């Protein structure tokens, strides 16, 4: 961008590309954090349910039946 600015060219598309790229990176990080947190919570619930149960099958809070082996 600095070379084109020195040459007197406009940087509108370059600036827009940088802004869109930065926003996409931030959105990806936020999405990864939310999905990762949900996966950790599900694994913790499954581990606790299997540890507390003497059965080989456990019903989770969302109604899913899971085999504990």
> DSSP code of 36?
H
Residue 43: its pLDDT value, please?
A: 84
Percent of all residues in the chain with a pLDDT value above 70, rounded to a whole number: 90
In a domain, 2, yes or no: no
Tens-digit pLDDT profile for residues 41-54: 888 888 887 787 77
Kindly compute the dihedral angle of the four CA atoms of residues 36, 41, 42, 44, in this order, to the nearest 10 degrees: 120
As for how many domains the chain has, the answer is 1
Spatial neighbors of 68 by CB under 8 A, at least 6 apart, are 49, 50, 53, 55, 56, 57, 58
Kindly compute the dihedral angle of the four CA atoms of residues 37, 39, 43, 44, in this order, to the nearest 10 degrees: 20
Residue 23: its pLDDT value, please?
A: 97
Residue 1: its pLDDT value, please?
A: 64
Number of residues in the chain: 69
In a domain, 17, yes or no: yes
- What is the domain range of residue 17? 9-67
Residue ranges in the chain whose pLDDT is less than 50: none
């Amino acid at each position: 961008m600095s070379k084109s600015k020195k040459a007197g060219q406009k940087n509108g598309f370059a600036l827009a590309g940088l802004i869109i790229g930065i926003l996409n990176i931030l959105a990806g990080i936020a999405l990864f954090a939310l999905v990762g947190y949900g996966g950790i919570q599900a694994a913790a619930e499954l581990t606790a349910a299997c540890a507390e149960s003497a059965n080989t099958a456990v019903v989770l809070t969302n109604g899913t039946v899971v085999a504990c082996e």
